[in-house]
Amino acid sequence: MNVMDNEDTNGSEPAESNTSSVGTRTPPGCARCRNHNVNIGLKGHKRYCKYRYCMCRKCTETLARQRKMAKKTRQQRARKQDEHRKLTGRLPEEVSPFLFLKAKVHTVSTGIWCNCRGREKPPDNRVEYREQMFV
């Protein structure tokens, strides 16, 4: 008996098909190009995208969505890494965040000299101030 003999008249495919949809995916395309009705594959395209710096509404929304997803992925990977380290007992010892506090000294010019206070010679233009910042 032939496979063609078992085929329905309604046009459906035979039960045993050689093409399998399991594991078959369409390669990703550039979202910004898609916003402008251009279909280009993503691989090797990121740095050369024509719309890389486009600030239209759709591209701005795409950028916001990409950043949101990147943040979510970053947090998931960090959480997964922390869980793995907890299970293996390789957690670093607790460190006080104040150990990383560092004083930074800047020298800044105060600007152009004006004789509004009756001084005869300009003062030293350098002002020193300290700024605390986390490193």
The predicted-structure confidence for 94-111, as pLDDT tens digits, reads as follows 666 666 665 555 555 555
pLDDT value of residue 39:
94
Residue 4 clears pLDDT 60, i.e. is over it:
no
Of 33-37, 58-62, 109-113, the poorest mean pLDDT is in: 109-113
Answer yes or no: is 129 within a domain.
no
Residue 46 clears pLDDT 70, i.e. is over it:
yes
Of 30-34, 42-46, 56-60, 115-119, the poorest mean pLDDT is in: 115-119
Q: Model's pTM, two decimal places?
A: 0.49
Arithmetic mean of pLDDT over the chain: 73
56 band by pLDDT with thresholds 50, 70 and 90: very high
> Quick count: other Cβ atoms within 10 Å of Cβ 51?
19
Answer yes or no: is 104 within a domain.
no
Answer yes or no: is 46 within a domain.
yes
Q: How many domains does the chain have?
A: 1
Answer yes or no: is 10 within a domain.
no
Answer yes or no: is 48 within a domain.
yes
31 band by pLDDT with thresholds 50, 70 and 90: very high
- 43: domain range? 31-88
